[in-house]
Amino acid sequence: MKKVCCVLLSALSIVSTSAIALAADVSVETTTLLGIAQRDVSGASKENILPATQFFGLQADSLADGNLSLHIYGWGRTDMGDRSYSTDKNSGNLTYAYVQYAPDYANASVRAGRFFVREGIINEQLDGLNARTDLPAGLGLSVFGGATVHTAKLVGEGSDGKGDTLYGGRLNYRYRGMLEVGVSGVFESEAPELIAHPAANYRRIGADVWLAPLKTVDVIGHSSYNPETKKMAEHSYLLNYKPAREIVLTGEFNQHLEQSYLYAWTMFSGATLNPDYRSTSFGLSASYEINKALEVAADYKHYEREFGGANRFGGDMRVHYKDNTIRGGVGYHYLGADEGFSITPYTSASYHELRCYTMRDSKNYFTAIDLLGNFFEQKIYGKSSAWEANASVGYHITPGLALSGDLSYGRNPQFIEEVKTILRLTYNMNYPGIGGKK
C-alpha cells in the first residue's frame, strides 16, 4: 500500500475589540488544519481524504475584580471528501470551557463548567463544579461533582458504559515544604447495563505522597484501591536522587492489577479478567552532564505480565551549543522480549531502535532533521524494519508569526511507502488589559 499525504496547518489569532478585551488580559488562538491524502488499498477503491479541522482556544484573565478568569478550548472536524476517521463525516469536542474564581487568600479557587480534575489518584473530565482551598494546620481540601462527559457509544451498545454523574475529592496534609500526603477518591453513578459486557461501576480510592527529606532526594507516588473488586488497583512510585549538580539518578516502580485497574473499562472487558493477572514494570535511569555542551544518559526497564516479560535498555548522547540554539543527539535501545509478550501471531516482540537528530534555532529561522529506525528480530508482514526520516525548516516572519514546513518519508510493515508534507503558519497574540497587544 502506498500512502501520500499533504497537510496544510495554519494558526491564526482572532482578537475581539469588545469591552471584555479592554478590561482583561485576553489570549485567543485558532488553528485550522486541512489534510489532503489518497488511500489506495489493495482490493478496495481509491479514496480521496480531505478533512478540515478547526481548533479554538481562549483565555481571559483579570475579569471582574481581577480574580475571575475564563478558559475555553475545543475542536471540530468535517470531511469534505471520503471519511477520514470513524463512520462520521463530522465530529468535534469541547475539551474544556469553564470560569474560575481565585480570591487572594488560602490558595482557594472555584471552577464551574467543563474541566479536568487532577488531584492525587484523580484524573477526570466532567461538567460541574470544583472547589479547593488550604485549611489551617497544613491541611488542604478539594471537592468536585457533576455530570460525566460521555464519549461515543460502544459498538452494538446503546451507551458508552459510563454512569451519568461523577463526584469525589482529596484531603491532603503538607509539612514545611518537604512532605505532602493525601487521600482521594472518585465515584461514578451506577453504570448502565450492557449487552456484550458486564456493567462495571467506576469507583476508586487511594493515597498519594510527595517526600523530599533532602534537597537531593524526592519521592512521588500513589496507590489506589477498587471497592468494587475489593482489591488494590495500582501502585506507581518514582524516586529522584541528585548526588551532584551534573548527575541525576531515577528509579521507578509501577504495577497494575488488571481486573481492578481495568474493571470499568468495557473496551477491554476488565470485569471478566482473571483477578490474579497483573502487569509490573520497574526501571533505573542515569544522566551525566559531562560539560555545558555534552550530556550522556543510560536507562533500563523490566516489564513483567502473565504472558511473559521483557527488558528494554540503551543510552543517549546529547549535545548543545551556542546557548542551546544548536542541539543534537544519537541514541540506541534494545527491547528483548519473551515469546508471547507481544500477544500477536508473532512469537517475538524484540527489536533494535536507532535514532539521530539535530536542530538549529535562531532569531530568524529554525531547522530540524530526525532519523528513526526500528529493526525487528522477527519479520512483521515480511518486513524486517520500519524507519522514517523527517526534515523541518521554518522562518520567524515576526516574533509572533512563523512559517514552517515538514517533510517525512518512511517505510514500515503497514505502508510500503509513506510520504507526508506539512505547511504550518502559526500566529499567537496576547492582549493586556489596557487594550494593547504583545
pLDDT in tens, 383-394: 899 999 999 999
Amino acid, res. 261: Y
Work out the percent of the chain whose per-residue pLDDT is above 70: 86
Whether 189 and 159 have beta carbons less than 8 Å apart is answered as no
Nearest residue to 359 (alpha-carbon basis) of 387, 324, 333, 388:
324
The distance of Cα 60 from the centroid of its chain, to the nearest Å, equals 24
Mean of per-residue pLDDT scores for the chain: 85
pLDDT at 387: 93
Query: Dihedral (C-alpha) 240, 241, 247, 250: value to the nearest 10 degrees?
Result: -40
Query: Distance between CA 422 and CA 414 in Å, rounded?
Result: 21
pLDDT at 332: 98
Q: Which three cell numbers stand for residue 105?
A: 487568600
The distance of Cα 119 from the centroid of its chain, to the nearest Å, equals 16
The residue with greater pLDDT, 10 or 365, is 365
Tell me: pLDDT of 432 over 80.
no
pLDDT at 272: 62
Q: pLDDT digit string (tens) for 195-238?
A: 767 778 899 999 999 999 999 999 999 999 999 989 999 999 99
pLDDT at 3: 45
pLDDT at 342: 72
Question: How many beta carbons lie within 10 A of that of residue 306, not counting itself?
Answer: 12
pTM of the model: 0.83
Nearest residue to 114 (alpha-carbon basis) of 101, 103, 99:
99
pLDDT at 418: 74
